[in-house]
Amino acid sequence: MPKWYTPVAIACGLMFVASPLLIANAPYEATMGLVQKIFYYHMPSAVMFLVAAIVCGIASARYLFGGSPHQDRVAWAAAELAVLFGIITLVTGPLWARKAWGVWWQWDVRLTSSLMGWMVAVAYLLVRRYGGPGSDKLAAGLALFGMANVPFIYISVNYWRTIHPATSVVPTLPVSMGLPLWFCLTAFVLLFVLLLKLRIYLEEERARLDALYLSIEE
């Protein structure tokens, strides 16, 4: 593991310990009150979910057309993180929506495309787990198609109706709310990088171990 890993891991842990204090001290939002504070974890996890999905898609494309096993490991690690951050997003979202919109779930464009993206990530992991030999390419193909799918889901659901707050709301937040948000986002970015690095490291060690076993047998 690289030298920076341990200090960054400690920093990230401290940030997550400190984040509830910052969130608790942030002012209440006028109409939604306490429940709005979910936002400080919801939005960063949603951003990391999107980043993980993009990393997975790009790494898959590079693996499919370049053939480097490293890219395959990156894609796998990113897919697992997409599922993880996706769960956080999809659980915190409805908790907020219940209060803000009065319903747990809406077939809104952002919600639908997030859910579908999450399902593709889960399908990716299912293929990796149960696909048997050759499933690495199969999963890469799935990731590529999943990426191409996003604009279509977006357009088709957008044609119905959208009630999710637009992302343009973020820069307009007052400092008292913006500060905890950016703090949490940084913590989530660090967590994402740490987990990704750890997961790739694990896969690389596993590949090395397999190679060693093979060389012993020969």
Partner 1 sequence: MLQAIWLIVRKDLTVEVRSREIAYTTLFFAVSCVLNFAFALVREGRPPQDGAAGILWISIAFAGTLALGRTFERERQSETLRALLLAPTARPAVYVGKLLGIIALLIVAEAILVPLVSLLFQAPLLAHPFWLLAVVLTGTIGFSAVGTLFAAMLVRARSRDVLLPVLLYPITVPVIIAGVRGTAALLQPEVDLGVVRFWVALLVSFDVVFVTLALWTFEPLMTD
By CB under 8 A, residue 146 contacts partner 1 = yes
Calculate ∠ Cα 198-199-201, nearest 5°: 65
Minimum separation from the CB atom of position 133 to partner 1 (A): 7
The distance of closest approach from Cβ of residue 97 to partner 1 in the complex, given in angstroms and rounded to an integer, is: 21
Compute the distance between CA of residue 116 and CA of residue 191 in angstroms, rounded to an integer: 24
101-137 b/e (C-beta count within 10 Å ≥ 16 → b): eeeeebebbbbbbbbbbbebbeebeebbeeeeeebbe
Who contacts 78 (Cβ-Cβ below 8 Å, separation ≥6)? 52, 53, 55, 56, 59, 196
* Gap between the Cα atoms of 155 and 61, Å rounded: 23
Q: Is 213 in the site for partner 1 (CB under 8 A)?
A: no
Q: Which of 9, 138, 190, 207 binds partner 1 (CB under 8 A)?
A: 138
Does the footprint of partner 1 cover residue 158 (CB under 8 A)?
no
Number of residues in contact with partner 1 under rule CB under 8 A: 30
Question: Residue holding tokens 């747990």?
Answer: 104
Binding residue for partner 1, selected from 10, 17, 155, 169, defined by CB under 8 A: 155
Rank residues 134 and 174 by Cβ distance to partner 1 and give the closer one. Answer: 134
For partner 1, the binding residue among 79, 127, 181, 195 (CB under 8 A) is 127
Q: Which of 7, 27, 102, 133 binds partner 1 (CB under 8 A)?
A: 133
Contact between 186 and partner 1 per CB under 8 A = no
Span near partner 1 by CB under 8 A; candidates 30-38, 153-161, 163-171, 203-211: 153-161
Q: b/e for 175-197, b at 16 or more Cβ within 10 A?
A: eebeebbebbbebbebbbbbbbb
Q: What angle do CA 18, 19, 22 make, to 5 degrees?
A: 95
Which residues is 33 bridged to in the sheet?
Answer: 29
152 binds partner 1 (CB under 8 A): yes
Applying CB under 8 A, does 86 fall inside the site for partner 1? no
Indicate whether 111 belongs to the interface with partner 1 (CB under 8 A).
no
Please, which residue, 5 or 154, has the CB nearer to partner 1? 154
Number of H helices, E strands in the chain: 6, 0
**Interface positions with partner 1 (CB under 8 A):** 64-65, 116, 119-120, 123, 126-127, 130-135, 137-138, 140-142, 144-146, 148-149, 152-153, 155-157, 159
